[in-house]
Amino acid sequence: MNEIDIVRAVIEEGYQISPQAVELIKLSNSPENLLKYILSTIDDCVFVIEPEHVDLKGFETSKTVSGPISGTSPGTVSQIAPDKISSPALEPADSHIVKAFDSALDALKEPESFSSVEPDMVSSADVSDSNPETKPYILSSQGSDSISDSISDSISDSVSDSVSDSVSDSVSDSVSDSVSDSVSDSVSDSVSVSDSVSESIPGSLSNPFYPSASSRSVDKPASSFFGHAVSPSTSNRASREDSLFSNHGNSFPSSSRNEEVRYLPGRNPVTVLSDITGHSTCVGEYMQFVQYFKDRYSRLSEIIRGRMNARPIESLKRRSFRRGSDGNTEEISIIGMVSDISTTTNGHKIFSIEDPTGSFSVLIRNSDKELFELASRLLLDEVIGVTGSVTNDGKLMLATKLLQPDVPNSVQRRTGSHGKAVLISDVHVGSSQFLEDSWLDFLDFLKGESDSEDMREIAAQVRYLVVAGDLVDGIGIYPDQEMELDILDVYEQYRKAAEYFREVPEHIHVIISPGNHDAVRQAEPQPALPERICADFPSNVTFVGNPALVDLDGVRILIYHGRSIDDLVASVPGVSYQEPAGAVLEMLKRRHLAPTYGSRVSISPEKKDYFIIDPVPDIIHTGHVHTLGVQRYKNVLLVNSGTWQAQTEFQKRVNLMPVPARVPVVDLADFDVKILAFD
Ligand code: D5M
Ligand code: FE
Ligand code: ZN
């Protein structure tokens, strides 16, 4: 029995399993029987089978006491203690279940035998049928008619079932009309979102991870975060096994943790904790996208799971899981990645969420003001927990609660360090709008040569200078950029920058992370600048990737250029370029620096999702939008540093008013921030 067989059998029974538990079972001399024993004895309230549920002792004892191991379904087992399993009275039922279990396993070994399955609920519809290759984002297909039918059905079920009359009236009136609208809206969105991905995705693929219901839908095109759907084949088996569970639940997978951590000792030491530099494995293959989303899901869902008792989505399809012991509607929770969002004509929100076992549609009524306001801020691809009741037909969840991973209230302010860190970004050396006079004043300040004594006093305490991207203006970044360049050669731009950085006193440890104007790949995470460029800079400069998590002598700072801020401004109500720290706050609540895939941030699908904010840092430092912002959220300091570039022609056209030559200086002991002006 290999990993995949174990996982499949577990999921088939409505559970999930940790990689450690899979390992333990695999190591047993009788994995199949051990798994049957675990499934027959595990408590009903367990959702994820962990190593502690692998009761090897009990298993051995049961073998000697009762001979062959029997099993029963998890729905009925909770009252049966393991020591009762040998009771002869249980045998007939047990042997029936063993047979069922065996045939399930057999079926799993012959995936071709799956021929039909319930279609997934609200999906982005039939466009995916017509041209599967170009719509990798769209979930399993279903015509818009059947979508509206099934929604109106489920809404009317819910009317008799669980929703108050006044609400259900308005909902059932509106939804069937509106869904086809919203579906076509969401389809066109999905298409544009997925364009960039489509080239590298082959047309016919297997479900790489979980066989679940959706993998049985043999006629459907590949389409989801987790590679649900389409005909199972064995061609991807080796790579499936390689990647299965590789990063499950770890903030820093052990294999990459040690390789990645770089300790740079000295008077002002720096430890680079997480950085893509030298670790990119991405070649743009389909499996890498699946693994990327799987890592994102497993790590973010783990954070939510600490506060929510969630079930696998597939289990919602079983009536017994949806109903309480009295047969009435029960509130249940699921955790998934948001895969499409639309609004009904009556203004309710419908979105789909997907986990590795399946996808489900969720409705948020606009009468629930607080919840609706939260739902209006939902972003595609963010991972959330949803609590609610499922309609009678098992097709729609009526949500009562949404939970983002967020920062736990219990996160304590860390003890901090001493001295100060100066945070800057968007220097844009080489641009004709580069404000050299202000910049030279700033360098004088760092050298302790300011006119003001106060400034000299602050300068004396500076230990770190952090640059969050766009060190130079680059070339060919936007149309007609050369009209606004003083230095037309990108290497010359870096040579000039290096000259400036040689002015920075040696004891100040400088950390430079790239941005979208720098000479590294545009896809994020971006590696550090290449050696050829770094070589010109003095030895007190450390180059890191974008993003990078860095420890400054006890203070953790997450550095990210901030390209996703453009997306957040465009899609989250109330987030603006004038208050960029508000955008960073939205990232923090989602514990992700670039929640939406495939928009302005071009994300490279690496094994590990480098954008996940875990652990929670003391400081998040961003730039990119050329405006200044400072906020605090639950002991995390959020700083967006401004720029050293005056308004460009492009920025004039889009009415972007930069805030140049203002420098946030953070006290590393108490996280107090002072803004110094050099204009
Ligand atoms: O980005 C500075 C800001 O200007 C940032 O908010 C993006 C915006 N910007 C700059 N160029 C473009 C183009 N071509 N399209 C849309 N938005 C843009 P920076 O990275 O410093 O150029
Ligand atoms: Fe910039
Ligand atoms: Zn930028």
211 by Cβ neighbours in 10 Å (0-12 / 13-18 / 19+) ranks as buried
pLDDT value of position 324: 56
Give the ligand with the smallest distance to the CA of 480.
Answer: 1
Pocket around ligand 1 at a 6 A CB cut-off: 426, 470, 478, 516-517, 566, 624-626, 650-651, 656
DSSP summary character for residue 528:
P
Measured in angstroms, how far is the CA atom of residue 625 from the centroid of ligand 2?
Answer: 6
Measured in angstroms, how far is the CA atom of residue 543 from the centroid of ligand 1?
Answer: 23
Give the ligand with the smallest distance to the CA of 471.
Answer: 2
Percent of the chain whose pLDDT exceeds 90: 52
Q: What share of the chain is helix, strand, coil (3-state, %, to 5)?
A: 35, 20, 45
Q: How far is CA 3 from CA 21, 254, 290, in A?
A: 10, 20, 18
Can you tell me which atom of ligand 1 is nearest the CA of 645? 21
- The residue that leads in pLDDT, 16 or 527, is 527
Measured in angstroms, how far is the CA atom of residue 556 from the centroid of ligand 1?
Answer: 28
Q: Is the pTM of this model over 0.75?
A: no
Measured in angstroms, how far is the CA atom of residue 296 from the centroid of ligand 3?
Answer: 24
Section 53-64 average pLDDT: 80
pLDDT value of position 592: 98
Q: Which of the listed residues 471, 649, 650 should we mutate to test ligand 1's pocket, taking the one with most ligand atoms within 8 A of CB?
A: 650
pLDDT value of position 193: 26
pLDDT digits (tens, 9 = 90+) for 330-356: 899 999 999 999 998 899 999 999 999
Going through 240-321 in order, the beta strands assigned E by DSSP cover: 262-264, 270-275
pLDDT value of position 445: 98
Q: Length of the chain, please?
A: 679
Residue nearest to atom 17 of ligand 1 (CA): 566
Can you tell me which atom of ligand 1 is nearest the CA of 516? 20
pLDDT value of position 287: 81
Least confident of 309-323, 554-568, 625-639: 309-323
Can you tell me which atom of ligand 1 is nearest the CA of 515? 20
Section 583-604 average pLDDT: 94
> CA-CA distance, 131 to 397, in Å (whole number)?
29
Find out whether 573 and 112 touch, Cβ atoms under 8 Å. no
> CA-CA distance, 154 to 148, in Å (whole number)?
10
Measured in angstroms, how far is the CA atom of residue 613 from the centroid of ligand 2?
Answer: 22
pLDDT digits (tens, 9 = 90+) for 12-57: 665 567 777 878 888 888 888 888 888 878 765 555 677 888 888 8
Find out whether 122 and 350 touch, Cβ atoms under 8 Å. yes
> CA-CA distance, 550 to 275, in Å (whole number)?
9
User: Which residues make beta-bridge pairs with 485?
Assistant: 431
DSSP summary character for residue 429:
B
Find out whether 622 and 580 touch, Cβ atoms under 8 Å. yes
pLDDT digits (tens, 9 = 90+) for 202-243: 222 222 222 222 222 223 233 567 766 533 332 332 232 232
pLDDT at 70 over 60: no
Find out whether 318 and 324 touch, Cβ atoms under 8 Å. no
Residue nearest to atom 13 of ligand 1 (CA): 478
Q: Which of the listed residues 566, 575, 645, 649 should we mutate to test ligand 1's pocket, taking the one with most ligand atoms within 8 A of CB?
A: 566
pLDDT at 397 over 70: yes
Closest CA to 61 of 82, 30, 79, 36: 82
